[in-house]
Structures are given as C-alpha cells and as structure tokens.
Amino acid sequence: MKKLIKRYKFFIVLAVINSALVIIYPTIGQKSLNITWRNTLEMLSVLPPIFILLGLLDVWVQRETMIKLMGEKSGFVGVLLAFFLGSAAAGPLYAAFPVAGILLKKGSTFFNVLIFIGAWSTTKIPMLLFEASSMGWVFMISRFIIDIPVIVLIAYITEKFLNEKEKQYIYDNAVE
C-alpha cells in the first residue's frame, strides 16, 4: 500500500487540492477541475504515440549503432545528431524525457542527451517557423544562433557538475 501511495503521491495531492478548492471556492475549484481534465486529455493524446515510437526505437536501433552515432567517440557528429533529433521532434517537453531515457539506455552520452533535451525545448522546427512568421526572420535567426551555444554550454556545465555516481544513477534509472 505504501508503495502505491508513494508512486501516485502527486496525483493524490492534486486530487486533495482540487477537492478542497471545490468545497471552499466552488467556482475556482470547477475551473481547476476543468484545467486538470484538459491537461490529462492532452497527455493521454500525446503519450501513446510517443511510447509506440519509443518501443520501435528500442527494437529497431541496435545499441552498437547508437553508441557509434551518439556514444563516447561520436564527437561532433553525435552533437549534431542530438540537435537534429531534438529540433525535429514534435510534442511537449515532457515527452522528451522518455526518449532521453531510451537514448541513455542505448548508449548515448549524457552530454548528447542533454543537447537533445535542450534542442527539444528551444529549437523545434515548427516553433522556429512560427517565430519567423509572427516575429520576423531576424528575430528567429538571432534567437536560434544564441540558443545553440547556450544549449551546449548548459549541457557542458551540467555534465561537469554531476559526479560519476550521479551520472551512473541516471543511467541505471534509464535502464529500468
């Protein structure tokens, strides 16, 4: 029972907060329930295709291929591939983390996975096109040019601040 409660603690806390809001402030509580319901439906519409793609990635891409493309000796090619995969991806940022787990499981370096997550969050191609159409090409190109070194810098700093034990913990969780 404790394990079940621990696993669903965020859901339980959200349910308690929503219930309290409905009782204390019915109007706000109803809005909160509506927002929670819409977010749940959005997640349920995004996650199944992501998990299908993850399953295909897990089965179709051999570990040796991933190590060659994004592993320790991949160098600049691994970074470029991580940028491309993150930029070409679709979906909200929370969908990037299961993909990052598979990349780690398949032998990608932690640095390349951080690049992938950074690219997913800031350099998605549809987002760039939207920016170009609404704010202009100069803004879009300027932001893109600034984002690339910042993503690399953040990935580098994050990797350097984590010790080997912490990195191993992350890799072990990805394998589970």
Closest residue by Cα to residue 104 from 155, 175, 47? 175
pLDDT tens digits, one per residue of 67-108: 888 888 888 999 999 999 999 887 788 888 888 998 998 889
Q: For 109, left (φ over 0), alpha (ψ -120 to 50), or beta?
A: beta
Q: What percent of the chain has pLDDT over 90?
A: 42
Residue 162 CB neighbours (<10 A): 15
What is the rounded distance in angstroms from the CA atom of residue 107 to the CA atom of residue 75? 14
Residue 134 CB neighbours (<10 A): 9
| Spatial contact of 80 and 68, defined as CB atoms under 8 Å apart | no
Question: Does position 120 have pLDDT exceeding 90, yes or no?
Answer: yes
Mean pLDDT of the chain: 89
Residue 136, pLDDT score: 92
pLDDT tens digits, one per residue of 140-167: 999 999 999 999 999 999 999 999 899 8
Q: What is the reported pTM?
A: 0.77
Kind and range of the H or E element at 5? helix 2-7
Across the range 126-134, mean pLDDT stands at 89
Residue 67, pLDDT score: 83
Higher pLDDT, 91 or 123: 123
Question: Does position 175 have pLDDT exceeding 80, yes or no?
Answer: no
What is the rounded distance in angstroms from the CA atom of residue 110 to the CA atom of residue 100? 9
Across the range 34-48, mean pLDDT stands at 86
